[in-house]
Chains A and B, each alone.
Chain A
């Protein structure tokens, strides 16, 4: 499996009236061709800003990519000019956003919106683009696609709009699909439909996927590898099973212990993570999780730990005490109905 995307030491800041917001603080990650990567984090953890930086969609000002490289297919995207970047965006890398209600243009038909990309990037004529649009809508499971193609976004439900967004994302056969909380605004039964669809499309088309979410459940069934972010840093990175069975960062462990599971056997007490995430304007000098961490020692306050190799080279944790971080056996998986 070749490397498709390589992010090296990415730093993105926002210059606001209140001060400099350190949104992404030196993120490095890799993605193989056809791989599915989950990025998990809470609001303000920098997961969306990281991917918006990769796509160069950060509003500048107030935002600024301060440093780093984004190597996609051998080229540093951060060094491309705007015209070259347009050739990548939508064509090679596509992005699906959280809110299907606001990311479609309400005054244009679905056909116009999807055909535009096809005509621009694939040099199709109007007729061919329309034909391809119908195919795409069928592929994402929109019933009677041929007649619905001339409808406007408001004529579709939330789940259907997200399907339209995915069809649009896939229109130019991208090598990478970045999905930013694509199911958060949807109901669970509709979420299940969308996840099912994305898994099927991945099997059929074989593109790589980066799935950004705050829901540890969604990632468990979808991703091959998971990255956990906190306060603009990657705090843990591991293959999906490793991450859930053997988490080696107190934040990951804390998240897993604080969410109720549908399959919990008996009434358990949740163990919340105490306190609040840090203010991104005045980040502590040590580990950003130290103020909330039950494993905290002197060193954590003095020095921010880098991502360190733990059990295997594929499992890395940014914790000085990763060897002491263990999941108790009492939370072993239970049978599911």
Chain B
């Protein structure tokens, strides 16, 4: 996927943090703590590539996507889009850049306004950004419907007349309407049935080739992420613990969490399953309101050693060319 546009970096994230305050009191709200949903991320995305972001529920992967698009304003850090820091921007300036960054949401039932026709849903961004209106907008909407594999005559229908997979296609068409460069796909297929998932994965891949899109693909399903991504980042409790090319990460994982995660994914093949060794992690993910000291994974880590893992946050380092990891022993 990458390569056609060279290895130019489209988006770079430096020290990104997003903390949500925990408050107490009704009239005078005091902050008594913070949910550290995203706690210091550094990575970049090349033009035309797909970066997969995987992690379990509550690890902060969706918050990361939203913080990049400034839908949640970050607590700290920089988000550089073609070198311009989005965090410092506001108002009109940010709105103009938003046109180049879009999002596809997880829930195809909640992310489309039930009172708007498909034509209005897809046409709205065209008007908002002053790209097209009237007859021209309508033509563009019909063209977009065709691009995502829907019948152009559906423009006057309402979302409830469509199945989950078709609705998700409408969401994709809406994102494409403004000719974006970068799309955050936040679990776009998780709500769909197995036989429909592949349809959407293929569509997203086709569109990427056709329109030279760059994706941040957020999902909890490792098989899907490995399939669609060029590089994969693994998140745990608000931090990225490992990032590498898809095959490198799969064949030579370094972080004990990545290893456990990979071993936990069932493979649809009884012969393979028979021979697999699972690394079963004990316990649950700790609360991001009160994350463990030192390495966030030390409470469940099979190779944890005292005192270093409990006391020192492991440094984010490039262990092999292009293969980043945060672990004292990897």
Interface residues, chain A, CB within 8 Å of chain B? 42-43, 157, 159-160, 187-193, 195-196, 214-221, 240-241, 244-245, 254-256, 258-264, 267-274, 276-277, 333-334, 336-337
Does A244 contact B201, Cβ atoms closer than 8 Å? no
Chain B contacts of A256 at CB under 8 A?
268
Does A259 contact B165, Cβ atoms closer than 8 Å? no
Rounded to whole Å, the gap between the CB of A218 and the closest CB of chain B is 5
Does A270 contact B270, Cβ atoms closer than 8 Å? no
A272–B266 alpha-carbon span in the complex (Å): 20
Closest to A156 in B: B284
Does B276 contact A196, Cβ atoms closer than 8 Å? no
A270–B268 alpha-carbon span in the complex (Å): 15
Does A217 contact B195, Cβ atoms closer than 8 Å? no
Q: State the total of A-B contacts with C-beta under 8 angstroms.
A: 147
Q: How many residues of B contact A (CB 8 A)?
A: 47
Task: Say yes or no for B117: interface residue by CB 8 A criterion.
Answer: no
Rounded to whole Å, the gap between the CB of B65 and the closest CB of chain A is 18
Interface residues, chain B, CB within 8 Å of chain A? 56-57, 163, 165, 193-199, 201-202, 205, 220, 222-224, 226-228, 250-251, 253, 260-276, 278, 280-282, 284-285
Does A188 contact B220, Cβ atoms closer than 8 Å? yes
Closest to B284 in A: A157
| 6 A-B interface contacts by CB (under 8 A) | A188-B222, A189-B264, A215-B266, A261-B223, A261-B268, A262-B223
Indicate whether A337 sits within 8 Å of B220 (C-beta atoms), given known contacts A258-B195, A272-B199.
Answer: no
Closest to B200 in A: A272
Pick the contact of B251: A190, A215, A241, A337 (CB < 8 A): A337
Rounded to whole Å, the gap between the CB of A28 and the closest CB of chain B is 24
Chain A contacts of B253 at CB under 8 A?
337
Chain B contacts of A157 at CB under 8 A?
284
Indicate whether A187 sits within 8 Å of B56 (C-beta atoms), given known contacts A241-B270, A260-B224, A271-B198.
Answer: yes
Chain A contacts of B194 at CB under 8 A?
42, 214-216, 255, 258-259
Does B284 contact A221, Cβ atoms closer than 8 Å? no
Does B284 contact A190, Cβ atoms closer than 8 Å? yes
Does A187 contact B266, Cβ atoms closer than 8 Å? no
Does B268 contact A244, Cβ atoms closer than 8 Å? yes
Chain B contacts of A218 at CB under 8 A?
266
Closest to B265 in A: A262
Other A-B pairs, 9, CB within 8 Å; known A262-B222, A268-B227, A273-B198 = A42-B195, A192-B264, A221-B266, A244-B270, A261-B268, A263-B269, A273-B199, A277-B195, A336-B267
Chain B contacts of A334 at CB under 8 A?
272
A260–B273 alpha-carbon span in the complex (Å): 16
